[in-house]
């Protein structure tokens, strides 16, 4: 068999751009759905009570995350069997199909119950695809990284998502200036989704030019689907611990990005423009901190960063949110969201690469994807709905911080468990490299 090699060192930037392009598309769509939730609710899920309508929308948003574990298992096994490149092309095709559906489906007033059903199908397709997208991209970046810089390279998986947040927030800000609220509610909210559809062909060109990773091409044994599933059963404890490790990332991310515009408008009663500016700044902050902290984890190890940031989150998340909601203003919201952004990006910069390192190499994609998708399905995907429900149930506008604090506790426990196992294996002369060399 002829071996294909990974792109040479001088083309690393182009490789990172091509492999993370689908990540951009995934988060672009997910953010748009969260930001335009109030308009989507009125278009597809009309109800007498505004809270009920918004909850239907956020539950549909969350339903897509329930498909992620299935996508992780079946598409992840496919990627580990046939290769990283082909798998990333398939996930992009599924994601694009869901985007087109959401962009083009007429509203409830035109086609009745078929409208929310088609939107739900679009979200399920996107969720199925996303179940392995993050894993496929992270594993590809880990396998093409230069020695000693794995954390830095893998951090661009999440950094690419921040570009989508920045682009979507800037686009929403522009529409808010150019269109009236009535025009946005009637049809303007669809414009960013149509723009997403137009971007898809460009992303396909980028992904098709990818080469397979050298590490995968040199692997002599590639397990079949049955062997992959059996390995996942054997490593169930590792997957569950990995899921808890991801909980902090996925909850904090959806809290500070997807939920922020709704929180700013509906809860704090700030203007749409102010909420969008905050979200834009959060995306920029995330983009800066992610590679910096990923690179730092290459130097000092993953564990110190994971432990420090989870403890900081547990201590500061609720007090910061309470300070904001006690006397809300644009400036205070920006300060709090940037602090939460630092916590998210610092943790995630070390966490993602750590998760690629703990999974058995033969099932690295499916193992990573299953742990990540379970965390997103159970914790992160329903964060907007849980935050909305907590505020409604308690009357406390700072209540969403309790959810983030709980996720940080999960991350802290998972870090301690994983590294205790690492130390035990090291003593037993079987090393699992949680810190890259």
- Reply yes or no on whether the pLDDT at 3 is more than 50: no
Residue 427's pLDDT is what? 56
The pLDDT tens digits for 138-172 are 877 887 788 888 889 888 888 888 888 888 888 88
Please state the domain extents for the chain. Answer: 10-206+224-427
Q: What is the mean pLDDT of residues 228-234?
A: 73
pTM for the model stands at 0.78
Q: How far apart are CA 267 and CA 50, in angstroms?
A: 13
Nearest Cα to Cα of residue 265 among 3, 7, 37: 37
Confirm or reject CATH 1.10.1060.10 for domain 10-206+224-427, answering yes or no.
no
The pLDDT tens digits for 258-305 are 788 778 888 888 887 888 888 889 989 999 999 999 999 999 999 999
Q: b/e per residue, 137-162, with b = 16+ CB within 10 A?
A: bbbbbbbbbeeeebbbbbbbbbbbbb
Q: How far apart are CA 382 and CA 403, in angstroms?
A: 11
Kind plus residue range of the DSSP H or E element containing 382: none
More confidently predicted of 36 and 84:
36
Q: How far apart are CA 405 and CA 387, in angstroms?
A: 12
The pLDDT tens digits for 20-30 are 777 777 778 77
Q: b/e per residue, 377-404, with b = 16+ CB within 10 A?
A: bbbbbbbbbbbbbbbeeeeebbbbbbbb
Q: What is the DSSP letter of 398?
A: T
Residue 2's pLDDT is what? 40
């Amino acid at each position: 068999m002829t071996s294909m090699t990974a792109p040479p060192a001088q083309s690393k930037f182009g490789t990172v751009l091509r492999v993370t392009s689908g990540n951009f598309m995934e988060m672009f769509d997910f953010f748009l759905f969260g930001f335009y939730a109030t308009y989507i609710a009125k278009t597809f899920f009309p109800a007498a009570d505004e809270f009920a309508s918004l909850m239907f929308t956020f539950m549909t948003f969350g339903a897509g995350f329930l498909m992620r574990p299935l996508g992780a298992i079946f598409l992840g096994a496919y990627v580990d069997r046939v290769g990283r490149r082909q798998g990333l092309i398939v996930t992009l095709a599924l994601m694009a199909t869901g985007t087109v559906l959401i962009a083009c489906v007429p509203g409830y007033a035109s086609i009745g119950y078929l409208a929310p059903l088609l939107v739900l199908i679009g979200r399920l397709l996107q969720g199925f695809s996303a179940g392995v997208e993050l894993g496929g991209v992270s594993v590809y970046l880990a396998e093409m990284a230069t020695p000693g810089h794995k954390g830095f390279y893998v951090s661009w998986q999440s950094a690419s998502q921040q570009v989508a947040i920045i682009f979507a927030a800037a686009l929403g800000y522009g529409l808010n200036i150019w269109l009236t609220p009535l025009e946005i509610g009637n049809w303007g909210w669809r414009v960013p989704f149509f723009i997403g559809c137009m971007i898809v062909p460009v992303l396909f060109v980028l992904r098709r030019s990818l080469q397979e990773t050298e590490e995968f091409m040199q692997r002599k044994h590639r397990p079949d689907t049955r062997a992959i599933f059996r390995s996942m059963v054997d490593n169930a404890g590792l997957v569950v611990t990995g899921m808890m490790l991801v909980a902090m990332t996925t909850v904090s991310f959806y809290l500070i990005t997807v939920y922020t515009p709704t929180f700013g408008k509906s809860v704090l009663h700030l203007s749409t423009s102010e909420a969008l500016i905050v979200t834009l700044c959060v995306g920029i902050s995330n983009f800066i901190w992610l590679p910096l902290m990923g690179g730092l984890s290459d130097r000092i190890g993953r564990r110190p960063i994971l432990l420090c940031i989870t403890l900081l989150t547990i201590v500061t998340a609720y007090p910061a949110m309470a300070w904001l909601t006690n006397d809300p203003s644009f400036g205070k919201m920006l300060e709090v969201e940037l602090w939460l952004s630092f916590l998210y990006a610092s943790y995630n910069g070390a966490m993602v690469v750590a998760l690629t390192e703990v999974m058995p190499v033969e099932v690295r994609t499916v193992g990573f994807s299953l742990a990540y998708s379970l965390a997103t399905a159970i914790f992160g995907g329903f964060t907007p709905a849980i935050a909305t429900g907590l505020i409604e149930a308690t009357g406390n506008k700072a209540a969403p911080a309790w959810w983030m604090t709980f996720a940080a506790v999960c991350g802290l426990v998972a870090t301690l468990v994983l590294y205790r196992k690492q130390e035990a294996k090291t003593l037993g002369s079987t090393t699992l490299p949680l810190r890259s060399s």
